[in-house]
Structure 1
Amino acid sequence: MDELRRIDLNQLLTLHALLVEKHVTRAAVRLHKSQPAVSHVLAQLRTRFGDPLLVRHGGRMVLTARAQALVRPLEEALTRLNELLSAPDFDPSRTRGRFRLCLSDYASRIVLPPLVRHVRERAPGLDLAISQASREAMLAQLADGEVDLALGVFPHPPEDIRVQDLFQEEFVSLADRAVLPEKGGLSLAEWLERPHIMLAMRPDAHDEIETALAARGLRRRLAVTLPHWSAAVDLLAGTDLVLTVAGRAVGPLRRHRTLRRFTPSLDLPRFAYQQAWHARRADDPAHRWLREAVLACGRPGGG
């Protein structure tokens, strides 16, 4: 307890903001403080910990090894302290705060619109900051406390990551009618011969479709790899490309009258679309309320 007497709680909050943002000015914005005030506290923290904590490397600020070691225990300690001091009854209409969500533009299209309406109606004091990352980066950011909630497919999450199914999805294929048989879709051989579009955050990603192909010793040609779900459908018209994606990502084809949806020739199992969070946030009342809101908004017609 002697160590606690030597440090101000506000310094710990500033330290947390600096560790998350890795930038003095952004930390100041996050804390609603001036940049000189945060720089002053950083100087005090460097003296207190006997470590520079943030150092410039390659034109940007990075955490020292000591600072990286502080990220997780500090996040957990502040979360527990916040729970200790918070009111026992959580009232979303009166709460204030900011949640950082990481999701693809698939979730931005399917879940985010009803979620924003839900939050604005029931918890207008809550702000949502949205970012996008690969599955691996999402899990790392959850572990480091950089994001509060991630939406995606997490088949093998780490032990300290909690996962909840939002809804079941299935794959569908799309192509221009002009390059499809008059009726039906494509045989597996025809499907494999066609050039494909793959949706992924990285060109070398290995998604569920590639996993299913590899299990059968098969490969497809990936003519276009891109991270933008909303743009992928627009690439099909007037080409011989095939796109295989989660069904709800496609939606009605009223804007794409030359395209046809068909069942993939490859046997692709249904999968669960999920939300994931770190175990340290499991009992946070506001975080729990947000997870329940995401679950409700993930259902067809939810929100």
Structure 2
Amino acid sequence: MREVNLRSIDLNLLVVLEALLEERQVTKAAERLNMSQPAVSRALQRLRHTFSDPLLVRSGDGYDLSERAKQISTDVKSVLANIKQIIAEPQFDPATSKQIIQIAGPDLEMALYLSDLLGVLQDTAPLMQVELDSRPADYFEMLARDDIHFAVSGFGPNVGEDQFHRTVLGQTGLAIVMGANNPLANKEITLDEYLNARHGYVSLTGQGPAFMDTHLKELRRKRTTVLRLTSFMGVADFCETTDLLFMLPVSLIERLAIGRNLVTRPLPTDLKLPDLNIYLYWHARHHNDPMHRWVREQIAHTLNKKVPNMR
């Protein structure tokens, strides 16, 4: 078999070849392709040179297929169908899809913003599965490695920001949470009182320092941290049994405080921070994937808002 250099071949000729093999006549093939008869004749000459075969041969009542043309007729149709399938936009049917949606993020934030997604899947995509991963990790690295489809985070990536798209799930303020018996529970907390207190914090990556410690360093101040957690679930227990203060998003504090002996206080005036946006992130490689688009639309719908512009 002779070696074929595809770069030297005009693959558009395959479309003409398919018409010629089916119509067995230049004139009819030209009408079918909306081309001029001379243009199809020239294409036939190029095809004969490419295949080293006449392809169409004169017969008593017109033209017939050469033996080589008969052999390749089915393959040509199949090749063109495969090319169309490759180029065409992939289809996604939630009713029959068995895909697994993998999402990573803090446990409480995922419960707060994504809990209604399961109800949507139950009704419209009963065969799809959701895997929620709240283990401490760099969620942006997981997205970059294609380990997950989505990440929930109130913070942005440290590097490679142009790799990711995001949409806002919600917005929340930041506040202090502590046990109701804490000496600071019933007063406005000053900056000095805040700095002299003992603190705990939640590290979603399993590493430090905390966001507040970085902010204090910029102000040339420092607080005392004695506990680092990798999950929000233990915050209430430690607040109730110790004198520790935690700074958390208000939306999470409200969920943690249900049935617990906790108190929420505003941050000292000197430490006021802007509200925190909670984002759903995904990698650029999946931005146009129909399954991803559908999931984003369902999440937006459950949050009673329109799908925002994706950056």
For the aligned pair, the TM-score class normalised by the smaller chain equals 0.5 to 0.7
Identify if the C-alpha distance between structure 1 residues 154 and 174 changes in structure 2 by more than 3 Å, giving closer, same or farther: closer
Q: Which amino acid aligns with 1:98?
A: I
Aligned-partner Cα distance in 2 for 1:245–1:208: 10
* Candidates 295, 298, 302, aligned match of 2:300: 295
Q: Which amino acid aligns with 1:145?
A: D
* Candidates 116, 119, 143, aligned match of 1:117: 119
User: Deviation digits for residues 221-254 of structure 1, max 9, x if unmatched?
Assistant: 1111011102111211132111110111122534
Aligned-partner Cα distance in 2 for 1:141–1:191: 35
Q: Which amino acid aligns with 2:192?
A: A
* Candidates 256, 259, 276, aligned match of 2:260: 256
Q: Secondary structure at the match of 1:164?
A: strand
- Residue 168 of structure 2 corresponds to 165
User: Deviation digits for residues 153-197 of structure 1, max 9, x if unmatched?
Assistant: 243452121122211121111112322357433111101111111
Identify if the C-alpha distance between structure 1 residues 160 and 83 changes in structure 2 by more than 3 Å, giving closer, same or farther: farther
Task: Identify which range, 221-230 or 105-114, moves more after superposition.
Answer: 105-114
- Residue 222 of structure 1 corresponds to 225
* Candidates 290, 301, 304, aligned match of 1:285: 290
- Preserved CA contact (<8 Å) 1:174 1:243: yes
Q: Secondary structure at the match of 2:236?
A: helix
Identify if the C-alpha distance between structure 1 residues 203 and 106 changes in structure 2 by more than 3 Å, giving closer, same or farther: same
Q: Secondary structure at the match of 2:162?
A: coil
- Residue 24 of structure 1 corresponds to none
Q: Secondary structure at the match of 1:236?
A: helix
- Preserved CA contact (<8 Å) 2:185 2:265: no
Give the TM-score, by structure 1 length. Answer: 0.64
- Residue 44 of structure 2 corresponds to none
Q: Which amino acid aligns with 1:212?
A: H
- Residue 152 of structure 1 corresponds to 153
* Candidates 93, 96, 100, aligned match of 1:94: 96
- Preserved CA contact (<8 Å) 1:209 1:268: no
- Residue 192 of structure 1 corresponds to 195
Q: Which amino acid aligns with 1:197?
A: G
Runs of 4+ in structure 1 deviating by more than 4 angstroms, as ranges, are: none
* Candidates 267, 271, 278, aligned match of 1:273: 278
- Residue 33 of structure 1 corresponds to none
User: Deviation digits for residues 62-111 of structure 1, max 9, x if unmatched?
Assistant: xxxxxxxxxxxxxxxxxxx8884633xx4422333112111111223212
- Preserved CA contact (<8 Å) 1:105 1:229: yes
- What pairs up with 1:36-185 in 2 under 5 angstroms? 84=88, 86-87=90-91, 90-134=92-136, 137-156=138-157, 158-181=161-184, 183-185=186-188
Aligned-partner Cα distance in 2 for 1:120–1:99: 14
- Report deviation, 1:256: 1.6
- Preserved CA contact (<8 Å) 1:169 1:246: yes
Identify if the C-alpha distance between structure 1 residues 296 and 227 changes in structure 2 by more than 3 Å, giving closer, same or farther: farther
When Rg is computed on C-alpha atoms for both structures, the one with the higher figure is 2
Aligned-partner Cα distance in 1 for 2:216–2:238: 23
* Candidates 198, 205, 209, aligned match of 1:206: 209
Structure 2 gap ranges (5+): 6-84, 306-311
- What pairs up with 1:27-42 in 2 under 5 angstroms? none
Identify if the C-alpha distance between structure 1 residues 287 and 201 changes in structure 2 by more than 3 Å, giving closer, same or farther: same
Q: Secondary structure at the match of 2:152?
A: strand
Q: Secondary structure at the match of 2:240?
A: coil
Give the TM-score, by structure 2 length. Answer: 0.63
Aligned-partner Cα distance in 1 for 2:167–2:235: 28
Q: Which amino acid aligns with 2:174?
A: F
Q: Which amino acid aligns with 1:208?
A: F
Aligned-partner Cα distance in 1 for 2:303–2:122: 17
- Preserved CA contact (<8 Å) 1:167 1:274: yes
- Residue 68 of structure 1 corresponds to none
Q: Which amino acid aligns with 2:272?
A: D
CA RMSD, 1 decimal:
2.7
